[in-house]
Amino acid sequence: MARRHATQEGEAELDITSMLDMIFILLIFFIVTTSFVRPPGAVVEQPKAVTAHVLRSSILIAVTSSGQVWMNKEQIKLNQIPGLVEAARAQAPKGNVVIVADRRASTGLVVKVMGEAKLGGATQVSLAAKIKSVGGS
């Protein structure tokens, strides 16, 4: 009888420490592997190109059809681009600069933005385009 009484008093415990450790490790994994891309902040109508391909970037600069330049959800001036690109490259040294220009944006302004990005230390500057299917419009 004493034996039966001892088993009823002992409560079963569920040790979830290892499960919490695994959840924490997975959380860290997803945070580290997530690509942090800051949207430029302006809505632009990108041109389409057959040769467009996906490029992971971390530094986006938008040029609108009205001549505005946006970066990190803020409207900026041309002379601010080198400092902002330099700061962004300090956080992501392998980050590419991608200019998201509206299809009606001034070509001259886009070229000036490219030049300012290069002054900020950008080694590769690309133009964003939507992928156009062959034979599509």
Q: Nearest 5°: CA angle at 118, between 132 and 83?
A: 115
Contacts of 42 (CB under 8 A, 6+ apart): 62, 64, 68, 70, 75, 100
So what's the pLDDT on residue 69? 94
Res 113 pLDDT > 90:
yes
CA distances from 46 to 5, 11, 43, 137 (A): 76, 65, 9, 13
> Which tops the pLDDT comparison, 84 or 42?
84
CA distances from 56 to 16, 21, 28, 80, 105 (A): 38, 31, 21, 23, 23
- Structural domain spans, the chain: 2-33, 48-131
What is the helix (H) or strand (E) element at residue 70, kind and residue range? Answer: strand 69-71
Q: Pick the more confident residue, 53 or 2.
A: 53
The more confident residue out of 132 and 129 is 129
Mean pLDDT, all residues of the chain: 80
Q: 48-131 maps to which CATH number?
A: 3.30.420.270
Residues above pLDDT 70, as percent of the chain: 70
Model confidence pTM above 0.85: no
- Residue 46: band (very low, low, confident or very high) from pLDDT cuts 50, 70, 90: low
24: pLDDT strictly greater than 90: no
4 SS3 class: helix
Stretch 10-35: mean pLDDT: 79
Pick the closest to residue 104 from 53, 75, 63, 72 (CA basis): 63
